Amino acid sequence: MTMEKIRIAIQKSGRLSEKSLALFTECGINLTAGSGKLMADSADFPIEVLFLRDDDIPQYVADGVADVGIVGENVVKEKHKTIDIAERLGFGRCRLALAVPKIVNYTDVTYFEGKKIATSYPDILDEYLKKKGVNAEIHEISGSVEIAPGIGLADGIFDIVSSGSTLFSNNLKEVELVMNSEALLVANQKLTEAKRKIMNDLIFRIRAVQKARRNKYIILNAPVKNLDEIVRVIPGMKSPSVVPLMDKGWVSIRSVIAEKDFWEIIERIQELGAQGILVIPIEKMII
């Protein structure tokens, strides 16, 4: 009897490759071959990894050649294949936006009426323009979209923006945000029961890793007189553990705090007399 596995498609080389592989490692899934090969498998988890161009991933997953895949939301939306979004992965964040030359006196989206827009995402753009009631000519190109206005190929562009530095260095400015994107775990809609179970195991691990990333373990010494107030600031998962110190006026507190509230919490508890604050990264978190 062969053990059931799931086959997952990830980007072969590009902006999502490294983070996709890092996610497997953090989930305790070590792969046997490098990303240079077409496929890899793992001794730790019933998984087989297929390395592809990101544009091909939705189709492979829709066809069932791969059971699941990791791909940008922008690509999923552009390809509109019939696949499920199984989990949002929180990396590869970017946005799809319209941009025009800096010198343009832009007021609103009607600027694009009768204009030429260069993009690698014609379907998403077309849908957006229809919704806005704007008629523009969509010029599909597969790369270096940002140079199109400079060489007279288009009046504006519709492209992925992350820091905005590519737009800046090409004398363009972002004028309309069309969609936000992040990496998604996508799945074939007709997975067998056994494969669905493996996928859910994978999602369970991914969530534990993500939760851990969003939180920090904190240890600190606190004066007993302010204990109640300090505990209100760092409530912990259930409630913090409080350990007495030899010095009767002090206790040691251990708790978990959210990364995003980190500096605010540290400031508050310092005001309340906390000392010797240690902040420790968490590897996995299962509640």
- Which residues of this chain interact with Zn ion, rule CB under 5 A? 54-55
Which CB sits closer to ligand PRT, 170 or 255? Answer: 170
Which CB sits closer to Zn ion, 55 or 84? Answer: 55
Which CB sits closer to Zn ion, 13 or 30? Answer: 13
Residue 160 partner contact from ligand PRT, Zn ion, none using kind-dependent CB cut-offs of 5 to 8 Å: ligand PRT
- The least CB distance from residue 76 to Zn ion, in Å, is 12
Taking the CB of residue 178, how many other CB atoms lie within 10 A of it?
A: 20
Task: List binders of ligand PRT among 29-68 (CB under 6 A).
Answer: 53-55
- The least CB distance from residue 194 to ligand PRT, in Å, is 30
C-alpha pair distances (Å), 159 with each of 24, 117, 151, 156, 229: 29, 10, 17, 10, 49
Residue nearest to ligand PRT (CB): 72
Strands 250-258, 6-11: pairing kind:
unpaired
Taking the CB of residue 259, how many other CB atoms lie within 10 A of it?
A: 13
d(CA 187, CA 11): 15
Strand partners, 267: none
> What's the one-letter identity of residue 187?
A
d(CA 13, CA 123): 24
119 scored as a contact of ligand PRT (CB under 6 A)? no
Which of 3, 107, 163, 193 contacts ligand PRT by CB under 6 A? 163
* Interface ranges with ligand PRT (CB under 6 A): 11, 14-16, 53-55, 72, 74-75, 92, 94, 159-166, 181
